[in-house]
């Protein structure tokens, strides 16, 4: 390390213990062990703070700042209690997954959400998206982003599922991960009881069953259940479903991507429940 600015110490080595631990956060097991995950991108960082996410540590490189947005963000995170670590450009590059790092990478605490933590007032009359063991981080990020766009009350992940705090999921959500409660559960009986207690109509998406576009099924409180990319809904999840929605395929495509199908049905719910302006 070198010390060029007053008393501040600049980390210049990727072998620094703090940097080594931060770089491990690219792996799920280390995110869970450390209880934190990395976020970069100025827009995502703003949305994280606006959504109430708790910054624990921020790595910054003034040499990579462009304009005033990054310094303002750094000030916000410092004010929120984050430990700040100044690093040299190669170190910031080692922490970043962007081709052109913007000078800030921050570690945030992993949320400790549970079914009981979800707001009953929002879920009882809203849309809850239930995802059955999804495996692709890009799909999950897109679904979370769309759920945010339509005002969904929550996204529930049935485990084993891709980690919502995987860097690709965080990026794919475009910051919506910080706006929509995301809960993970492997306890199907508890999930079934929670859905029943909320009075939600459980609507499953299937290529061959039920009503086209979910017509007539998407009014009021709905739990929309979307299946795994390869297998669809699992046998142990299907009994939860009360009604089925399907999207017609009139061309030669074999199937729809789960994020695309989910997006169409989520907007179907919004259209069915949105009051005219």
> What is the pLDDT tens value at each position of the chain, 277 positions in all?
443 343 368 999 999 999 999 999 999 999 999 999 999 999 999 999 999 998 999 999 999 999 899 999 999 999 999 999 999 999 999 999 998 999 999 999 999 888 988 988 788 789 999 999 999 999 999 999 999 999 999 999 999 999 999 999 999 999 999 999 999 999 999 999 999 999 999 999 998 888 899 888 999 999 999 999 888 899 999 999 999 999 998 998 888 999 999 999 999 999 999 876 4
CATH of the domain at 267: 3.40.1280.10
pLDDT of residue 208: 86
Predicted local distance difference test score (pLDDT) of residue 54: 87
* Same domain (yes/no): 67, 143: no
Is the same domain home to 85 and 154? no
Same-domain pairing of 134 and 214: yes
Number of domains in the chain: 2
Show which of 109, 137, 165 is a domain's final residue: 109
DSSP string, the chain: -EEEETTEEEE--TTSHHHHHHHGGGSHHHHHHHTEEEEESHHHHHHHHHTT--EEEEEE-GGG--SSHHHHHHHHHHHTT-EEEEE-HHHHHHH--SSS--SEEEEEEPP---GGGS-HHHHTTSEEEEEES---HHHHHHHHHHHHHTT-SEEEEESS---TTSHHHHHHHTTGGGTS-EEEE--HHHHHHHHHHHT-EEEEE-SSSSEETTTTT-SSSEEEEE-BTTTBS-TTTGGG-SEEEE----SS-----HHHHHHHHHHHHHHHHPPP-
Question: What was the pLDDT predicted at 203?
Answer: 97
Give the residue carrying structure tokens 């052109």. 100
Return d(Cα 19, Cα 96) in angstroms, integer. 11
76, 109, 142: which is the final residue of a domain? Answer: 109
Residue 276: the pLDDT is 63
Same domain, 83 and 124: no
Residue 215: its pLDDT value, please?
85
Q: Given this model, what pLDDT does residue 5 score?
A: 41
Same domain assignment for residues 214 and 82: no
What domain range is 12 assigned to?
2-109
pLDDT at residue 113 in the model: 82
Query: Which two tokens mark 237?
Result: 């999840």
Which pLDDT score is estimated for 8? 62
Dist CA 234 CA 230 (whole Å): 10
> What's the pTM value of the predicted model, to 2 decimals?
0.91
Asked if residue 10 and residue 86 are part of one domain, the reply reads yes
How many angstroms separate the CA atoms of 269 and 29, rounded? Answer: 36
Same domain, yes or no: 80 and 150: no
Residues 121 and 257 both lie in one domain? yes
253 in the same domain as 126: yes
Look up the CATH number of the domain holding residue 85. 3.30.1330.30
Say yes or no: 102 and 170 in one domain.
Answer: no
The answer on 146 and 104 residing in a single domain is no
Looking at 93, 109, 125, the residue that finishes a domain is 109
Q: Are residues 173 and 67 in the same domain?
A: no
Q: Is the backbone of residue 216 left (phi > 0), alpha (psi -120 to 50) or beta? A: left
């Amino acid at each position: 390390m070198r010390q060029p600015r007053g008393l501040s110490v600049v980390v210049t080595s990727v072998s620094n213990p703090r940097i080594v631990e931060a770089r491990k956060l690219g792996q799920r097991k280390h995110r869970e062990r450390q209880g934190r995950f990395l976020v970069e991108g100025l827009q995502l960082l703003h949305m994280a703070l606006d959504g109430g996410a708790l910054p624990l540590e921020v790595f910054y490189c003034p040499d990579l700042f462009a304009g005033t947005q990054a310094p303002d963000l750094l000030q916000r995170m410092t004010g929120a209690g984050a430990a700040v670590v100044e690093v040299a450009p190669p170190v910031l590059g080692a922490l970043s997954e962007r081709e052109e790092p913007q000078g800030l990478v921050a570690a945030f605490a992993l949320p400790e959400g549970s079914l009981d933590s979800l707001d009953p007032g929002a879920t009882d009359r809203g849309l809850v998206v239930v995802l059955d063991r999804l495996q692709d981080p890009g799909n999950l990020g897109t679904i979370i982003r769309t759920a945010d766009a339509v005002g969904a009350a929550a996204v529930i992940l049935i485990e084993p599922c891709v980690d919502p705090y995987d860097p690709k999921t965080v990026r794919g959500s475009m910051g919506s991960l910080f706006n929509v409660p995301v809960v993970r559960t492997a306890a199907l009986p508890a999930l079934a009881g929670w859905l029943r207690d909320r009075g939600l109509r459980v609507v499953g998406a299937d290529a061959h069953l039920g009503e086209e576009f979910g017509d007539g099924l998407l009014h009021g409180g709905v739990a929309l259940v979307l299946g795994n990319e390869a297998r669809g809904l699992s046998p142990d999840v299907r009994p939860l479903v009360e009604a089925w929605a399907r999207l017609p395929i009139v061309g030669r495509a074999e199937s729809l991507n789960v994020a695309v199908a989910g997006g169409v049905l989520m907007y179907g719910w919004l259209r069915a429940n949105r009051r005219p302006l």
